[in-house]
């Protein structure tokens, strides 16, 4: 009996020492960098990282500003993440970054800070302010009906600017 | 027979239209924001986001610079992520951010850019350059043997600076 208790004590001690930390509110699902915009894509974490990869791989960068509690962002996310042409093109030809916070770089908000907003950046680090959506008051906004235009704009972004060197 | 083929054709068409995109190289595991430093913690994605949460929740911020292919980072990550006192304290009392790229803010590299490097930031947005580790040439570096010192430093960071207002 004593041996059983001793073994039990050792077991409890060992298992509590090795038990992983879980919040009191219960186990959480680990956060993903995709935030639902494409779990199979390789997402940059920061604008600095994205610029580094864009330059070193000579691929255009798509920066996608959104918010978790914005219904327009959520609707666009659904069609965006389920569109295979977008996902395949982004995976093969683009560097991707999605952000729920604005950066300190004002070039990423040519006509203001709003979501959802999609800005392309050339590997020369030039923001492609010329690649715009359908709405004159929010030139970099896309709605769910604008997926074809978005794909056309991705093709535009793939035509890289000539470096001036 | 024709009906079977027709049904099969419809099935194939429908299933390929609804099939999720997977890279040719095979399905990838979605990237996490924790990058292995604590899957149960709520990680900020960017320094801007982290500062926002630090100010609005009046909690100190821990910024952790590391690299996936740095053995010192990997070794520290293992003891860090498995240490329940660190994980619980971070979850309850801190805003956390881990970065594999430097930011443009020079205050986050008081004595240079190296990894692993842990910098505390007060909710007043003051970098706590006074909270240092054991190594005079890399003052914000921690090794696996320095976990107790790291916990002590976390307690220091929890004593917030007085706002000058």
Q: What is the ipTM of this complex?
A: 0.86
Residues of A within 8 A of B87 (CB-CB) are 21
Angle between helices A147-158 and A71-82 (to 10 degrees): 70
In a domain? residue A110: yes
CB contact under 8 A, A52 and B101: yes
In a domain? residue B52: yes
CB contact under 8 A, A46 and B21: no
Please give the residue of chain B at the shortest CA–CA distance from A49. B101
Q: What is the pLDDT of residues B134-156, one digit of tens each?
A: 999 999 999 999 999 999 999 99
- Interface A–B counts its CB contacts (< 8 A) at 93
In a domain? residue B2: no
Range of the domain at B72: 30-164
Cis peptide before A93 (omega within 30 of 0): no
- Angle, CA of A102, B29 and A61, to the nearest 5°: 35
In whole angstroms, give the CA distance from residue A89 to residue B68: 26
What percent of chain B stands above pLDDT 90?
A: 85
Q: Which one of B31, B88, B91 has the shortest CB-CB distance to A32?
A: B31
pLDDT at B164 over 80: no
Q: Tokens 């199979």, residue? A: A40
Question: Between residues B89 and B20, which one has the greater pLDDT?
Answer: B89
Among B17, B22, B101, B108, which would you mutate to test the A interface (most chain A Cβ atoms within 10 Å of its Cβ)? B101
In a domain? residue A39: yes
Among A13, A18, A20, A21, which would you mutate to test the B interface (most chain B Cβ atoms within 10 Å of its Cβ)? A21
- The pTM score is 0.88
pLDDT at B9 over 80: no
Tokens describing residue A164:
């001036």
Structurally, chain A folds into a number of domains equal to 1
CA distances from A25 to A152, B40, B61, B92, B119 (A): 45, 11, 22, 11, 28
Please give the residue of chain A at the shortest CA–CA distance from B102. A48
pLDDT at B133 over 60: yes
Q: Where are the alpha helices (DSSP H) in B1-66?
A: 2-18, 47-57
In a domain? residue A13: no
Q: Sign (positive/negative) of CA torsion B66, B148, B111, B104? A: positive
Contact call for residues A31 and B43 (beta carbons, < 8 A): yes
- Angle, CA of B140, B153 and A18, to the nearest 5°: 100
Tokens describing residue B146:
């320095």
Q: Which one of A82, A84, A102 has the shortest CB-CB distance to B48?
A: A102
pLDDT at B16 over 60: no
CB contact under 8 A, B32 and A32: yes
pLDDT at B94 over 70: yes
CB contact under 8 A, B20 and A33: no
pLDDT of residue A153: 98
Residues of B with CB under 8 A from a CB of A: 19-23, 27-28, 30-34, 38-40, 42-43, 45-49, 52, 82, 84, 87-88, 91, 99-104
Q: Taking every pair of C-alpha atoms in chain B, what is the biggest distance, in angstroms?
A: 83
User: Which CATH number goes with the domain that contains B58?
Assistant: 3.40.30.10
Q: Tokens 């035509």, residue? A: A159
In a domain? residue B142: yes
In the DSSP assignment, the letter for residue B121 is E
**A128-136 own/partner pairs: CB under 8 Å, 24+ apart:** A128/A60, A128/A156, A128/A157, A128/A161, A131/A156, A131/A157
Nearest CA-CA distance, residue A1 and chain B, Å: 32
In whole angstroms, give the CA distance from residue B1 to residue A105: 63
Confidence of residue B163 (pLDDT cuts 50, 70, 90): low
B36: left (phi over 0), alpha (psi -120 to 50) or beta: left
Contact call for residues B62 and B86 (beta carbons, < 8 A): no
Nearest CA-CA distance, residue A163 and chain B, Å: 24
φ and ψ at residue B129, rounded to 5 degrees: -65, -15
**Residue ranges in chain A whose pLDDT is less than 50:** none
CB contact under 8 A, A46 and B91: no
């Amino acid at each position: 009996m004593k041996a059983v208790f001793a073994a039990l004590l050792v077991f409890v001690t060992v298992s509590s020492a090795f038990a992983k930390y879980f919040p009191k509110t219960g186990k959480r699902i680990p956060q993903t960098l995709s935030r639902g915009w494409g779990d199979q894509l390789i997402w940059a974490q920061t604008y600095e990282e994205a610029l580094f990869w864009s330059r070193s791989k000579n691929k255009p960068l798509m920066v996608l500003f959104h918010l978790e509690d914005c219904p327009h962002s959520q609707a666009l996310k659904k069609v965006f993440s389920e569109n295979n042409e977008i996902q395949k093109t982004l995976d093969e030809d683009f560097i991707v970054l999605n952000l729920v916070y604005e950066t300190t770089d004002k070039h990423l908000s040519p006509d203001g800070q709003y979501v959802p907003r999609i800005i392309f950046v050339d590997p020369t680090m030039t923001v492609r302010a010329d690649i715009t959506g359908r709405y004159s008051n929010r030139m970099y906004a896309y709605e769910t009906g604008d997926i074809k235009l978005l794909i056309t704009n991705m093709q535009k972004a793939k035509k890289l600017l000539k470096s001036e060197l």
